Amino acid sequence: MKLIGRVHTWMTTSKTSYPKKPRVASSGDLVLDRRREWAVAATADGFHQAAAEIYEQILERAPFWAIVWFELGEAREKLGDRSGAIAAFESAAARDPDGLLAADLRLAALGAKQTPLAPAAAYVAGLFDQYAAKFDHHLQETLEYRGPALLRAAMERACEKLGRSFHFSRVLDLGCGTGLMGQEIRALCEWIEGVDLSPRMIEEARKTGVYDNLQTGEIVAFLAAQPAAAADLVIAADVFVYLGDLAPVFAASAKAMAAGGFFAFSVQKTEAAEFIVGNDMRYAHAPGYLNALAGAHGFQTISLEDASTRKDRGEPVPGLVVVMRKT
Protein backbone atom coordinates (compact mmCIF):
# COMPACT_ATOMS: atom_id res chain seq x y z
CA MET A 1 0.00 0.00 0.00
CA LYS A 2 1.55 3.24 -1.11
CA LEU A 3 1.27 6.81 0.10
CA ILE A 4 -0.30 6.92 3.52
CA GLY A 5 -1.29 3.28 3.65
CA ARG A 6 -4.34 1.82 5.23
CA VAL A 7 -4.98 3.15 8.68
CA HIS A 8 -5.74 0.44 11.19
CA THR A 9 -3.61 0.53 14.28
CA TRP A 10 -3.36 3.12 16.99
CA MET A 11 -0.03 3.34 18.69
CA THR A 12 0.44 6.18 21.08
CA THR A 13 4.02 6.90 22.00
CA SER A 14 2.73 8.53 25.16
CA LYS A 15 -0.46 7.63 26.96
CA THR A 16 -0.58 10.97 28.72
CA SER A 17 -0.92 13.32 25.78
CA TYR A 18 -3.49 13.85 23.08
CA PRO A 19 -3.13 11.66 19.96
CA LYS A 20 -1.87 13.68 17.02
CA LYS A 21 -1.80 11.49 13.98
CA PRO A 22 -3.41 8.53 12.30
CA ARG A 23 -1.27 5.43 11.89
CA VAL A 24 -0.56 3.24 8.91
CA ALA A 25 -0.64 -0.46 8.30
CA SER A 26 2.02 -1.24 5.79
CA SER A 27 4.50 0.00 3.21
CA GLY A 28 3.83 -3.18 1.27
CA ASP A 29 7.25 -4.52 2.32
CA LEU A 30 7.36 -6.49 5.57
CA VAL A 31 11.04 -5.76 6.16
CA LEU A 32 10.46 -2.03 5.92
CA ASP A 33 7.39 -2.31 8.12
CA ARG A 34 9.49 -4.08 10.77
CA ARG A 35 12.18 -1.40 10.55
CA ARG A 36 9.59 1.28 11.07
CA GLU A 37 8.39 -0.53 14.19
CA TRP A 38 11.98 -0.39 15.52
CA ALA A 39 12.11 3.34 14.83
CA VAL A 40 8.77 3.91 16.56
CA ALA A 41 10.03 1.91 19.57
CA ALA A 42 13.30 3.89 19.59
CA THR A 43 11.27 7.11 19.59
CA ALA A 44 9.15 5.89 22.48
CA ASP A 45 12.36 5.24 24.45
CA GLY A 46 13.71 8.70 23.61
CA PHE A 47 16.40 7.53 21.13
CA HIS A 48 15.58 10.14 18.51
CA GLN A 49 18.93 10.03 16.70
CA ALA A 50 18.65 6.27 16.21
CA ALA A 51 15.03 6.65 15.10
CA ALA A 52 15.94 9.37 12.58
CA GLU A 53 18.66 7.17 11.08
CA ILE A 54 16.28 4.22 10.68
CA TYR A 55 13.62 6.46 9.10
CA GLU A 56 16.20 7.85 6.65
CA GLN A 57 17.22 4.29 5.67
CA ILE A 58 13.59 3.29 5.15
CA LEU A 59 12.98 6.33 2.96
CA GLU A 60 15.88 5.42 0.68
CA ARG A 61 13.88 2.31 -0.24
CA ALA A 62 10.34 3.69 0.16
CA PRO A 63 10.39 7.44 -0.58
CA PHE A 64 6.62 7.36 -1.17
CA TRP A 65 5.86 6.50 2.49
CA ALA A 66 4.34 9.73 3.77
CA ILE A 67 4.02 8.79 7.42
CA VAL A 68 7.71 7.92 7.64
CA TRP A 69 8.58 11.39 6.33
CA PHE A 70 6.24 12.74 8.99
CA GLU A 71 7.86 10.68 11.74
CA LEU A 72 11.31 11.68 10.51
CA GLY A 73 10.15 15.30 10.85
CA GLU A 74 9.12 14.64 14.44
CA ALA A 75 12.44 12.94 15.24
CA ARG A 76 14.44 15.81 13.71
CA GLU A 77 12.35 18.30 15.66
CA LYS A 78 13.22 16.47 18.88
CA LEU A 79 16.88 16.66 17.87
CA GLY A 80 16.61 20.44 17.41
CA ASP A 81 17.07 20.19 13.63
CA ARG A 82 14.39 22.69 12.57
CA SER A 83 15.30 22.94 8.89
CA GLY A 84 15.60 19.16 8.60
CA ALA A 85 12.21 18.78 10.29
CA ILE A 86 10.65 21.30 7.90
CA ALA A 87 12.07 19.46 4.88
CA ALA A 88 10.69 16.15 6.17
CA PHE A 89 7.21 17.57 6.93
CA GLU A 90 7.16 19.18 3.47
CA SER A 91 7.98 15.77 1.95
CA ALA A 92 5.16 14.22 3.99
CA ALA A 93 2.70 16.89 2.84
CA ALA A 94 3.69 16.41 -0.80
CA ARG A 95 2.92 12.67 -0.54
CA ASP A 96 -0.36 13.11 1.32
CA PRO A 97 -2.79 14.79 -1.11
CA ASP A 98 -5.83 14.30 1.15
CA GLY A 99 -4.11 15.86 4.15
CA LEU A 100 -4.66 12.78 6.29
CA LEU A 101 -1.49 13.50 8.28
CA ALA A 102 -2.04 17.27 8.45
CA ALA A 103 1.69 17.93 8.03
CA ASP A 104 0.70 21.53 7.19
CA LEU A 105 -0.22 22.00 10.86
CA ARG A 106 3.28 20.92 11.91
CA LEU A 107 4.80 23.25 9.32
CA ALA A 108 2.68 26.10 10.68
CA ALA A 109 3.70 25.28 14.26
CA LEU A 110 7.35 25.47 13.10
CA GLY A 111 6.73 28.87 11.52
CA ALA A 112 7.37 27.50 8.02
CA LYS A 113 3.86 28.06 6.73
CA GLN A 114 0.93 30.37 7.42
CA THR A 115 -1.50 28.95 9.96
CA PRO A 116 -4.13 27.02 7.95
CA LEU A 117 -7.69 28.26 8.45
CA ALA A 118 -8.73 24.69 9.33
CA PRO A 119 -7.21 21.21 9.12
CA ALA A 120 -8.25 18.83 6.35
CA ALA A 121 -11.52 17.11 7.22
CA ALA A 122 -9.83 13.78 6.37
CA TYR A 123 -7.31 14.36 9.17
CA VAL A 124 -9.96 15.07 11.83
CA ALA A 125 -12.22 12.21 10.74
CA GLY A 126 -9.28 9.77 10.54
CA LEU A 127 -7.91 10.80 13.92
CA PHE A 128 -11.22 10.42 15.74
CA ASP A 129 -12.34 7.30 13.89
CA GLN A 130 -9.31 5.58 15.36
CA TYR A 131 -9.68 7.18 18.75
CA ALA A 132 -13.43 6.58 19.15
CA ALA A 133 -13.40 3.28 21.05
CA LYS A 134 -10.80 4.51 23.57
CA PHE A 135 -11.89 8.14 23.69
CA ASP A 136 -13.98 8.25 26.88
CA HIS A 137 -11.56 6.27 29.01
CA HIS A 138 -8.39 7.95 27.75
CA LEU A 139 -9.78 11.44 27.88
CA GLN A 140 -11.56 11.25 31.20
CA GLU A 141 -9.23 8.95 33.15
CA THR A 142 -5.81 9.82 31.72
CA LEU A 143 -6.17 13.40 30.54
CA GLU A 144 -8.70 14.35 33.25
CA TYR A 145 -11.00 15.96 30.69
CA ARG A 146 -13.79 18.01 32.24
CA GLY A 147 -14.95 20.28 29.40
CA PRO A 148 -18.64 19.30 29.58
CA ALA A 149 -18.86 19.84 33.37
CA LEU A 150 -17.10 23.23 33.11
CA LEU A 151 -19.40 24.35 30.29
CA ARG A 152 -22.49 23.25 32.14
CA ALA A 153 -21.41 25.15 35.28
CA ALA A 154 -20.58 28.29 33.25
CA MET A 155 -23.98 28.15 31.55
CA GLU A 156 -25.74 27.72 34.89
CA ARG A 157 -23.96 30.81 36.27
CA ALA A 158 -24.84 32.76 33.09
CA CYS A 159 -28.51 31.80 33.47
CA GLU A 160 -28.52 32.94 37.10
CA LYS A 161 -26.86 36.23 36.13
CA LEU A 162 -29.44 36.88 33.41
CA GLY A 163 -32.40 35.59 35.42
CA ARG A 164 -33.03 33.06 32.66
CA SER A 165 -34.26 29.51 33.25
CA PHE A 166 -31.56 26.82 33.00
CA HIS A 167 -33.44 24.93 30.34
CA PHE A 168 -33.16 24.78 26.55
CA SER A 169 -35.68 23.72 23.93
CA ARG A 170 -33.56 23.11 20.81
CA VAL A 171 -29.88 22.28 21.27
CA LEU A 172 -27.13 21.72 18.69
CA ASP A 173 -24.03 19.89 19.98
CA LEU A 174 -21.23 20.70 17.50
CA GLY A 175 -18.48 18.05 17.30
CA CYS A 176 -20.48 15.90 19.72
CA GLY A 177 -17.88 13.12 19.64
CA THR A 178 -18.92 10.15 21.78
CA GLY A 179 -21.62 12.22 23.47
CA LEU A 180 -19.99 13.37 26.71
CA MET A 181 -21.48 16.87 26.36
CA GLY A 182 -24.90 15.49 25.49
CA GLN A 183 -24.88 13.25 28.55
CA GLU A 184 -23.96 16.21 30.75
CA ILE A 185 -26.87 18.40 29.60
CA ARG A 186 -29.55 15.99 28.34
CA ALA A 187 -31.75 16.65 31.38
CA LEU A 188 -31.76 20.39 30.56
CA CYS A 189 -32.82 19.96 26.94
CA GLU A 190 -36.14 19.22 25.32
CA TRP A 191 -34.44 18.24 22.06
CA ILE A 192 -30.75 17.76 21.28
CA GLU A 193 -28.99 16.98 18.02
CA GLY A 194 -25.31 16.16 17.57
CA VAL A 195 -23.00 16.41 14.57
CA ASP A 196 -19.49 15.09 14.07
CA LEU A 197 -17.07 14.50 11.20
CA SER A 198 -16.12 11.07 12.50
CA PRO A 199 -18.61 8.25 11.77
CA ARG A 200 -17.16 6.13 14.58
CA MET A 201 -17.56 8.90 17.13
CA ILE A 202 -21.18 9.21 15.98
CA GLU A 203 -21.61 5.44 16.47
CA GLU A 204 -20.38 5.83 20.06
CA ALA A 205 -22.69 8.82 20.62
CA ARG A 206 -25.63 6.77 19.35
CA LYS A 207 -24.94 4.11 22.02
CA THR A 208 -25.52 6.69 24.78
CA GLY A 209 -29.15 7.06 23.71
CA VAL A 210 -29.20 10.72 24.77
CA TYR A 211 -29.54 12.38 21.35
CA ASP A 212 -32.80 12.96 19.51
CA ASN A 213 -30.84 13.07 16.28
CA LEU A 214 -27.24 12.52 15.15
CA GLN A 215 -25.54 13.39 11.87
CA THR A 216 -22.14 12.69 10.42
CA GLY A 217 -20.96 15.92 8.88
CA GLU A 218 -19.06 19.15 9.09
CA ILE A 219 -20.16 21.78 11.59
CA VAL A 220 -20.59 24.81 9.31
CA ALA A 221 -22.50 22.87 6.63
CA PHE A 222 -24.66 21.34 9.37
CA LEU A 223 -25.46 24.76 10.83
CA ALA A 224 -26.20 26.21 7.40
CA ALA A 225 -28.83 23.49 6.84
CA GLN A 226 -30.65 24.29 10.12
CA PRO A 227 -33.90 26.24 10.20
CA ALA A 228 -33.16 29.93 10.82
CA ALA A 229 -33.43 31.36 14.34
CA ALA A 230 -34.56 28.05 15.87
CA ALA A 231 -31.81 26.86 18.27
CA ASP A 232 -31.59 28.30 21.79
CA LEU A 233 -28.29 26.58 22.62
CA VAL A 234 -25.34 25.88 20.32
CA ILE A 235 -22.55 24.17 22.22
CA ALA A 236 -19.06 22.98 21.28
CA ALA A 237 -16.88 21.30 23.90
CA ASP A 238 -13.21 20.99 22.90
CA VAL A 239 -14.04 21.24 19.20
CA PHE A 240 -12.78 24.66 18.10
CA VAL A 241 -9.27 23.35 18.81
CA TYR A 242 -9.78 21.73 15.37
CA LEU A 243 -10.76 24.99 13.66
CA GLY A 244 -8.53 28.02 13.23
CA ASP A 245 -10.74 30.67 11.62
CA LEU A 246 -13.92 30.73 13.71
CA ALA A 247 -15.72 33.41 11.63
CA PRO A 248 -17.68 30.86 9.53
CA VAL A 249 -18.92 28.96 12.61
CA PHE A 250 -19.89 32.20 14.39
CA ALA A 251 -21.79 33.38 11.29
CA ALA A 252 -23.57 30.06 10.77
CA SER A 253 -24.43 29.73 14.49
CA ALA A 254 -25.85 33.27 14.55
CA LYS A 255 -28.15 32.36 11.66
CA ALA A 256 -29.36 29.15 13.28
CA MET A 257 -29.99 30.72 16.70
CA ALA A 258 -32.96 32.50 18.23
CA ALA A 259 -32.42 35.84 20.02
CA GLY A 260 -31.52 35.20 23.67
CA GLY A 261 -30.03 31.77 22.86
CA PHE A 262 -26.66 30.68 24.24
CA PHE A 263 -23.49 29.94 22.27
CA ALA A 264 -21.18 28.07 24.66
CA PHE A 265 -17.76 26.62 23.88
CA SER A 266 -14.28 25.90 25.16
CA VAL A 267 -11.00 26.72 23.42
CA GLN A 268 -7.30 26.49 24.12
CA LYS A 269 -5.96 29.93 24.93
CA THR A 270 -3.25 32.05 23.31
CA GLU A 271 -2.40 35.72 23.44
CA ALA A 272 0.14 35.45 20.59
CA ALA A 273 -2.23 36.02 17.66
CA GLU A 274 -5.93 35.69 16.80
CA PHE A 275 -5.32 31.97 16.47
CA ILE A 276 -2.27 29.77 16.30
CA VAL A 277 -1.59 26.08 15.88
CA GLY A 278 0.70 24.43 18.40
CA ASN A 279 2.98 21.42 18.43
CA ASP A 280 0.03 19.44 19.71
CA MET A 281 -1.57 20.08 16.28
CA ARG A 282 -4.45 21.84 17.97
CA TYR A 283 -5.46 25.46 17.59
CA ALA A 284 -5.51 28.05 20.36
CA HIS A 285 -7.52 31.27 20.19
CA ALA A 286 -7.15 34.71 21.75
CA PRO A 287 -9.83 36.23 24.05
CA GLY A 288 -9.75 39.48 22.02
CA TYR A 289 -10.40 37.54 18.82
CA LEU A 290 -13.42 35.76 20.35
CA ASN A 291 -14.88 39.05 21.63
CA ALA A 292 -14.35 40.69 18.23
CA LEU A 293 -16.16 37.81 16.51
CA ALA A 294 -18.99 38.13 19.03
CA GLY A 295 -19.37 41.82 18.17
CA ALA A 296 -19.27 41.14 14.44
CA HIS A 297 -21.89 38.36 14.54
CA GLY A 298 -24.49 39.64 17.00
CA PHE A 299 -23.38 37.95 20.22
CA GLN A 300 -22.83 39.42 23.67
CA THR A 301 -20.12 37.78 25.79
CA ILE A 302 -21.67 36.79 29.13
CA SER A 303 -18.60 35.05 30.51
CA LEU A 304 -15.13 34.28 29.22
CA GLU A 305 -13.20 32.49 31.93
CA ASP A 306 -9.75 30.99 32.17
CA ALA A 307 -10.20 27.27 32.71
CA SER A 308 -8.28 24.17 31.77
CA THR A 309 -10.47 21.43 30.35
CA ARG A 310 -7.75 18.75 30.40
CA LYS A 311 -4.13 17.91 31.09
CA ASP A 312 -1.29 17.14 28.72
CA ARG A 313 1.66 15.16 30.11
CA GLY A 314 0.31 15.94 33.57
CA GLU A 315 0.14 19.72 33.04
CA PRO A 316 -3.14 21.67 32.77
CA VAL A 317 -3.61 23.01 29.22
CA PRO A 318 -4.50 26.76 29.35
CA GLY A 319 -7.99 27.30 28.04
CA LEU A 320 -11.11 29.42 28.06
CA VAL A 321 -14.71 28.50 28.76
CA VAL A 322 -17.02 30.96 27.01
CA VAL A 323 -20.74 31.67 27.16
CA MET A 324 -22.21 34.13 24.67
CA ARG A 325 -25.79 35.24 24.15
CA LYS A 326 -27.40 35.92 20.80
CA THR A 327 -28.69 39.51 20.87
Site residues, ligand SAM (CB under 6 A) = 124, 128, 147-148, 175-177, 180-181, 195-198, 201, 218-219, 237-239, 242-243
Residue, CB closest to ligand SAM:
177
- In the complex, minimum distance from the CB of residue 144 to ligand SAM, in angstroms, rounded to a whole number: 13
- In the complex, minimum distance from the CB of residue 129 to ligand SAM, in angstroms, rounded to a whole number: 8
Q: Which of 29, 32, 24, 20 is CA-nearest to residue 4?
A: 24
Supply the Cα-derived Rg of the chain in whole angstroms.
21
Residue 35 or 146 with smaller CB distance to ligand SAM:
146
- In the complex, minimum distance from the CB of residue 117 to ligand SAM, in angstroms, rounded to a whole number: 11
- In the complex, minimum distance from the CB of residue 128 to ligand SAM, in angstroms, rounded to a whole number: 4
Give the strand pairing for 168-174 and 189-196. Answer: parallel
- In the complex, minimum distance from the CB of residue 31 to ligand SAM, in angstroms, rounded to a whole number: 35
Give the length of the chain. 327
Q: Which of 16, 79, 4 is CA-nearest to residue 43?
A: 79
| Contact call for residues 275 and 284 (beta carbons, < 8 A) | yes
Residues 6 or more apart whose Cβ sits within 8 Å of residue 75: 39, 43, 48, 49, 51, 52, 55
- In the complex, minimum distance from the CB of residue 301 to ligand SAM, in angstroms, rounded to a whole number: 21
Residue 93 or 176 with smaller CB distance to ligand SAM:
176
Residue 65 or 211 with smaller CB distance to ligand SAM:
211
Determine the Cα–Cα distance for residues 143 and 256; give it in Å rounded to an integer: 33
Query: Which residues make beta-bridge pairs with 97?
Result: none
Determine the Cα–Cα distance for residues 309 and 327; give it in Å rounded to an integer: 27
Residue 68 or 243 with smaller CB distance to ligand SAM:
243
Residue 71 or 218 with smaller CB distance to ligand SAM:
218
Strands (E), the chain: 168-174, 189-196, 213-216, 231-236, 257-268, 275-277, 283-285, 299-306, 311-312, 315-316, 319-326
Query: Which residues make beta-bridge pairs with 265?
Result: 236, 322
Residue 39 or 324 with smaller CB distance to ligand SAM:
324
Alpha-carbon dihedral angle through residues 193, 203, 119, 106, given to the nearest 10 degrees? 140
Helix (H) or strand (E) holding 43: helix 30-44
For the chain, how long is the longest CA-to-CA vector? Answer: 67
Residue 93 or 246 with smaller CB distance to ligand SAM:
246
Residue 79 or 247 with smaller CB distance to ligand SAM:
247
- In the complex, minimum distance from the CB of residue 247 to ligand SAM, in angstroms, rounded to a whole number: 14
- In the complex, minimum distance from the CB of residue 83 to ligand SAM, in angstroms, rounded to a whole number: 31
